[in-house]
Amino acid sequence: MKRCPYCGVENREGVLFCEECGQPFVGQAESPDTSQLDPGNHEAFKGHMSWGTARFGEDASVLIRIRDVAEPLVFAPGEETVIGRRDLSGLEPPDIDFAPYDAAELGVSRRHGVIRRGEDTLTLVDQDSTNGTFLNGQRLIPHQPRVLRDGDEVRMGRLVFNIFFR
Amino acid sequence: MNDASRNLYAILGVAPEATADDIREAYRVMARRFHPDANRNSGAEVQFRDIATAYSVLSDPGERLRYDDARRHFSDEPAYFSLRAIPSKRVLGTLVEPQVLYLLLDIVPTQRAVANRRSTAPMNLTLVLDRSTSMRGARLDKVKVAAHHIIDQLSPQDVLAVVSFSDRADVLIPATAVTDKTSLRSTVSVMRAEGGTEIYRGLAAGVAECRKYLAPRMVNHVILLTDGRTFGDEERCLAVARQAAEDGIGISAMGIGEEWNDEFLDALATTTGGSSAYINTPRAVLQFLDDRVRSLGDAFAERLQLAVAPDADVVLESVFRLNPHPQPLEAEQQPIPLGTLEKNRPIRVLIQLQMPPSSKAGFRSVVRLDATGDVLVAERHQYKVISDIAIELAHEPSPEQPPTAILDALGKLTLYRIQQKAERALTQGLPLEAARQLENLATRLFAAGQDELAHKAIHEARRVSRTQAFSQEGRKSLKFHTRQLLALPAPGNDTP
């Protein structure tokens, strides 16, 4: 048996695409077995029944929890939220700035990714970043939007964070 | 019974020089694999019947001599088509749990046979056209244009019939050789839209017309075009289709607009090896009809049938025709009708099997594949090719990448299946589950670069969670367009 890294369903050996959610099992590195929230933090989200959903309500906001960082970032996403790292080059600073979290050392680009707001969903788009954006262990194709779900794990360079809807 | 056109040696899997002992041993092995007492798979019974016949002839010295003698007529028979099967893994690991194995099967006309073909096979075509009130206007106009176009393309050796139907059926053009194109065209032009939709009447009249010129050397096909939902006569329609399939008539069904019952049209087409399609704009009618008729005109062999007989401990999980005309197939109904084999486009089928737990390394047989068809241009009926698939098991096989062709096909098939799952969830009264599957589908469609369909999936997901229902247009669009992603490029771009 093997567990789908995307939806967690057990699949039989030999299956090439998860029979539950369609996640491809080949042509990519095994996704590391990581970290939703530790149980302590999970308490904060109790009663949040829609975990795993892609639906992003009208007045919902986004909570980003960077791994090993206690304080989450919360924001109400506009049409486009640029994620990256502020530096002194005079480029317009990103909406979400990871510079305080060792972003430069961890390989986050200045304009690394963008969260786009659709009618009822959020999509994540890699901005052709140097070290790539990974969604639940799968590398995003630059400029190709992928739907975000509540609880998704995103890796930009070596900086790992989870996205929650609330 | 003792039909020399069949290669009995191939059925037993022995050489024509085999000794009586070889034959007895081969029969013993085959009986162990396929005897109905040992093997409950639906394809096995069909195989065993052939095997028993072959053994009864070849084990009797006198009968074997007579068979060998008669068989000489076929000694220089060319191979008309062949089977090529690629497994998803060349070497399986020995596992204590079951594992899945995919086979990509191509049925390919051999180059020599195609080169030697005398001409294209004549067509015996019947159009069954919906003229119910809802067809009024652009729809019926485009149908007429498409019918005119088809009349223009046919030649005097072809036979055409046209039946129009609403709540009754009118034979506009009784089956006739296509000689006077002008009068055929004007007959089609007088069609007027009125009345309800009763597919049974049209279909029964259409199949009856097609049957008048029924000939094994021809491509016998009925194309049904409808925009409506038929009420209460589905079962009778399917009975007509089953009878048509037995007579060697294929049925293709095309639905226009949003009202028609896609599951029913799918069932009609699958029963006969035909195909079904969704046409969302009247303009697309011509293109679809043209493509279908062109495909029939390219027929190399007709009435292709595939029998999939897994070994007793192997489970056949699904069979899907990828090309031409992607269509889910009914694995329970064996042999499986596949329709037309075109001269320069292989039939491609994806077979999903489950292998049993196993601790023994070495080669083992997995499944017997058996394709039969009428080779039109050679007037050779019931030409049969058999392929026994074996696979190696090893304790620690080296890792291997599955063949790209399988990954590609399966990746797209997965999209179609997620869509089907969403539909099933909704029928079971689980709208949240349906919405979740549709969101999954959107994610996968984005990953596949199908942004437009992905947005449609998101739209439907939202709709389902709000209203507990699909939009008819959205559901059909997703179903048939995810299915259509599986289609290979049309011949011409196809490398032999």
- Confirm whether B344 is domain-assigned: no
pTM of the model: 0.73
**Contacts of residue A28 in chain B, CB cutoff 8 Å?**
none
**Contacts of residue A145 in chain B, CB cutoff 8 Å?**
446, 451
Among B100, B415, B441, the residue with its CB nearest the CB of A13 is B100
- Confidence class for position B494, pLDDT limits 50, 70, 90: very low
- Confirm whether B357 is domain-assigned: no
Contact between chains at B441 and A22 (C-beta distance less than 8 A): yes
Round to whole Å and give the CA distance between A45 and B137: 57
Average pLDDT in the B69-78 region? 82
**Chain A residue whose CA is closest to B460:** A120
Cα–Cα separations (whole angstroms), residue B64 to B1, B7, B17, B81: 13, 12, 11, 26
Condensed to tens digits (0 to 9), the pLDDT of residues B329-366 reads: 888 888 899 988 988 889 999 999 999 999 889 999 99
* Structural domain count of chain B: 3
Long-range contacts (CB closer than 8 Å, 24 or more residues apart) made by B64-70: B66/B2, B67/B2, B67/B4, B67/B8, B68/B16, B70/B2, B70/B4
- How near does any CA of chain A get to the CA of B321, in Å? 18
pLDDT of residue A30: 36
Tell me: do B133 and B73 sit in the same domain: no
Condensed to tens digits (0 to 9), the pLDDT of residues A27-76 reads: 543 333 333 333 333 333 333 333 567 788 888 889 898 887 778 888 88
Condensed to tens digits (0 to 9), the pLDDT of residues B173-199 reads: 999 999 889 999 999 998 888 888 889
Q: Which of A70-84, A132-146, B200-214, B452-466 has the lowest mean pLDDT?
A: A132-146
Among A1, A52, A146, the residue with its CB nearest the CB of B446 is A146
- Of the residues A17, A56, A117, the best mutation for testing chain B's interface (the one with the most B CB atoms within 10 Å of its CB) is A17
pLDDT of residue B116: 60
3-state SS class at A20: coil
- Confirm whether B18 is domain-assigned: yes
pLDDT of residue B207: 95
**Contacts of residue A17 in chain B, CB cutoff 8 Å?**
410-411, 414
Average pLDDT in the B97-109 region? 93
- Confirm whether B340 is domain-assigned: no
- Domain endpoint, select from B274, B297, B320: B297
- Confidence class for position B159, pLDDT limits 50, 70, 90: very high
- Confirm whether B177 is domain-assigned: yes
Round to whole Å and give the CA distance between B65 and B363: 34
Round to whole Å and give the CA distance between B312 and B161: 46
* Structural tokens at position B101: 């194995």
Average pLDDT in the B42-62 region? 90
Task: Report ipTM for this prediction.
Answer: 0.77
pLDDT of residue B27: 93
CATH number for the domain whose boundaries are A38-165: 2.60.200.20
Decide: residue B301, CB within 10 A, 0-12 exposed, 13-18 middle, 19+ buried. buried
- Confidence class for position B447, pLDDT limits 50, 70, 90: confident
- Confidence class for position B495, pLDDT limits 50, 70, 90: very low
Tell me: do B72 and B127 sit in the same domain: no
At residue A34's C-alpha, the angle toward residues A32 and A40, to 5°, is 170
Domain assignment of residue B435, given as a range: 404-484
Tell me: do B424 and B282 sit in the same domain: no
- Domain endpoint, select from B255, B282, B297: B297
pLDDT of residue A4: 84
DSSP conformation class of A111? E
- Domain endpoint, select from B264, B297, B330: B297
Tell me: do B174 and B288 sit in the same domain: yes
Contact between chains at A21 and B440 (C-beta distance less than 8 A): yes
Tell me: do B72 and B130 sit in the same domain: no
Tell me: do B48 and B135 sit in the same domain: no
Tell me: do B151 and B233 sit in the same domain: yes
pLDDT of residue B136: 87
Among A12, A53, A147, the residue with its CB nearest the CB of B100 is A12
Average pLDDT in the B144-163 region? 90
pLDDT surpassing 80 at residue B46:
yes
Condensed to tens digits (0 to 9), the pLDDT of residues B409-428 reads: 898 889 889 998 999 998 89
- Of the residues A1, A2, A16, the best mutation for testing chain B's interface (the one with the most B CB atoms within 10 Å of its CB) is A16
**Contacts of residue A26 in chain B, CB cutoff 8 Å?**
401-402, 407
- Confidence class for position A22, pLDDT limits 50, 70, 90: confident
Round to whole Å and give the CA distance between B195 and B172: 16
Give the rounded percent of residues in chain B with a pLDDT score beyond 90.
33
**Chain B residue whose CA is closest to A57:** B462
pLDDT surpassing 90 at residue B371:
yes
pLDDT of residue A152: 86
Tell me: do B137 and B278 sit in the same domain: yes
- Confirm whether B435 is domain-assigned: yes
pLDDT of residue B113: 67
Average pLDDT in the A105-121 region? 90
Instruction: Detail the DSSP E strand segments found in B265-333.
Output: 276-279, 299-310, 315-323, 327-329
Contact between chains at B462 and A53 (C-beta distance less than 8 A): no
Give the rounded percent of residues in chain A with a pLDDT score beyond 70.
84
DSSP character string of B235-279: HHHHHHHHHHHHHT-EEEEEEESS-S-HHHHHHHHHHHT--EEEE
Tell me whether B451 touches chain A (CB under 8 Å).
yes
**Contacts of residue A16 in chain B, CB cutoff 8 Å?**
88, 102, 402, 406-407, 410
pLDDT of residue B489: 54
pLDDT surpassing 70 at residue B404:
yes
pLDDT surpassing 50 at residue B496:
no
Residues of A with CB under 8 A from a CB of B: 1, 7, 12-17, 21-22, 24, 26-27, 52-55, 118-121, 123, 141, 144-147, 149
- Confirm whether B341 is domain-assigned: no
Condensed to tens digits (0 to 9), the pLDDT of residues B257-292 reads: 877 788 888 888 888 888 888 877 777 788 888 888
Round to whole Å and give the CA distance between B106 and A165: 47
Which has the closest alpha carbon to B227: B267, B278, B266? Answer: B278
DSSP conformation class of A24? B
- Of the residues B94, B104, B355, B436, the best mutation for testing chain A's interface (the one with the most A CB atoms within 10 Å of its CB) is B436
pLDDT surpassing 70 at residue B119:
no
Condensed to tens digits (0 to 9), the pLDDT of residues B87-101 reads: 999 899 999 999 999
Tell me: do B56 and B162 sit in the same domain: no
Tell me: do B243 and B135 sit in the same domain: yes
Average pLDDT in the B294-321 region? 90
B490 compared with B334, residue with greater pLDDT:
B334
**Contacts of residue A58 in chain B, CB cutoff 8 Å?**
none
A50 compared with B225, residue with greater pLDDT:
B225
Domain CATH for B21: 1.10.287.110
- Confirm whether B348 is domain-assigned: no
- Confidence class for position B126, pLDDT limits 50, 70, 90: very high
Among A14, A118, A141, the residue with its CB nearest the CB of B89 is A14
The partner residues of A113 in beta bridges, in order of sequence, read A83, A126
Tell me: do B34 and B178 sit in the same domain: no
As a whole number, the mean pLDDT across chain A is 79
B162 compared with B401, residue with greater pLDDT:
B162
Is the CB of residue A120 less than 8 Å from the CB of residue A56?
Answer: yes
